[in-house]
Amino acid sequence: MTELRHRPTALLVMEERRRGDVYPEAVLAEIGTLVDLREPLTRERLAERPEALDGVEILLSGWGAPVLDTGLLAHAPDLRAVLVAAGSVRPLTTPDFWARGIPIVSAAAANAVPVAEFTLAQILLGLKQVHRISREIRERRAYPGDPRVAGAYRSKVGLLGLGEIGALVASHLRSFDVEVLASDPVVDAAAAADLGVRLVELEELFGTCAVVSLHAPLLPETEGLVNGTLVARMGIGATLINTARGAVVDEPSVIPVLGERPDLTAILDVTWPEPPAPDSPLYTLPNVVLTPHLAGALGAERARMGELVARELRRFVLGQPLQHAVAPDRAHLRA
């Protein structure tokens, strides 16, 4: 093991509620072998005591990260790196932060694992139309004689977005005998082909795929992108899955389509607003399955993100290249 010539000072700032999940004792112990770790703070406590950043070279965080604005940075002249045990760094980065050229690490790759697992499970259930057939059995109190489903043999699966999570879902699907289509304006055909994916326009994605799973970041260009017209193009018994951002779906135009098409199924792990308003039809439509961010890292799964940060921290203090640093020109593309 390479000996550390200098032990940087580090501070962990995040919400208390999930801190123990993200940074369990074993992870904190590993981090403690690399840096002098000060007592953790919450974002609110740091705002009361910004002088706690004096001498801090490495800022560790997760959910509830402080915003890296001019005021905070003024109290952190020694800051050399920020490592975030969460997916997106958009909520905490500012132009002033990027101007300082400080590397920032995201644990999006670790958070992508449970989301991709959840998505894969729902895709396979969707190809068998499990949710549709189950609710029809309850309604009719009888089993169908010979259910006609797409199945996982030469069916088409659509992915809207081939970012960290979409690419991992595509990788998982290579183990199955399905054709994977995708729409993503920032991915070229060659990169998609490397993932075993064929790029198509949105109309073809929704019009031909038995399951469409959403993995697009929320940007001005993607807000309300999935509208009622696209969902109405979906085939009989098709499934729509959203584990991305609720506002990617234009719910006011999609809800009427779901009401008119009981054969469709919508698996919504995210909505907009979130949770839905108490009078939202999403609660009563029988072909809508609502889950409260179950796809993301929960409980012990969150430790993956802390472990990724610990590995990146080791690389940083040893002067090795970081593997999960966010490029400034790519930060806005993360969910």
Percent above pLDDT 70 for the chain:
97
> In this predicted model, what pLDDT tens digit does every residue of 281-308 receive, in sequence order?
999 999 999 999 999 999 999 999 999 9
CATH architecture of 9-102+299-333: 3-Layer(aba) Sandwich (3.40)
pLDDT at 87 > cutoff 90 = no
Q: What residue type is assigned to position 44 of the chain? A: E
Cβ–Cβ < 8 Å for 305, 88: no
Tell whether pTM > 0.85. Answer: yes
Q: pLDDT at residue 332 above 80?
A: no
DSSP-assigned letter for residue 259: H
What is the pLDDT, as a whole number, of residue 334? 65
Neighbours of 179 (CB within 10 A): 15
Task: Tell me which residue has tokens 């169908």.
Answer: 144
Give the mean model confidence (pLDDT) for residues 158-174. 97
Decide yes or no: CATH 3.40.50.1010 for domain 112-290.
no
What percent of the chain clears pLDDT 90, i.e. is strictly above it?
94
- Give the integer Cα–Cα distance in Å for 281 and 125: 23
Write down the residue that tokens 């993932």 correspond to: 195
Q: How far apart are CA 98 and CA 90, in angstroms?
A: 11
Whole-Å CA distances, 244 to 156, 157, 222, 241, 258:
20, 17, 11, 9, 19
> What pLDDT, on a 0 to 100 scale, did the predictor assign at position 1?
46
Which two tokens mark 196? 């075993």
* Cα separation values, 116 from 109, 113, 120, 121, 263, Å: 10, 5, 6, 9, 25
The residues, ordered by sequence, that sit 6+ positions from 178 with a Cβ below 8 Å of its Cβ are 127, 152, 153, 154, 155, 156, 157
CA distances 264 to 118, 137, 172, 180, 216, Å, are 19, 15, 24, 20, 21
Distance CA 270, CA 280 (A): 14
* Residue type at 133 in one-letter notation: I
Cα separation, 225 vs 153, whole angstroms: 29
Encoded tokens for 319 = 């002067």
So where are the chain's domains? 9-102+299-333, 112-290
Q: In the prediction, which pLDDT does 64 show?
A: 96
Question: Is the separation of the CB atoms in 301 and 63 below 8 Å?
Answer: no
Q: Is there a shared CATH topology between the 9-102+299-333 domain and the 112-290 domain? A: yes
Q: How confident is the model at residue 6 (pLDDT cuts 50, 70, 90)?
A: confident
Choose between 87 and 24: higher pLDDT: 24
Helix boundaries (H) for the chain: 19-22, 25-32, 43-48, 70-74, 95-99, 108-127, 130-140, 164-173, 189-194, 202-208, 228-232, 251-260, 303-317
Predicted pLDDT at 5: 67
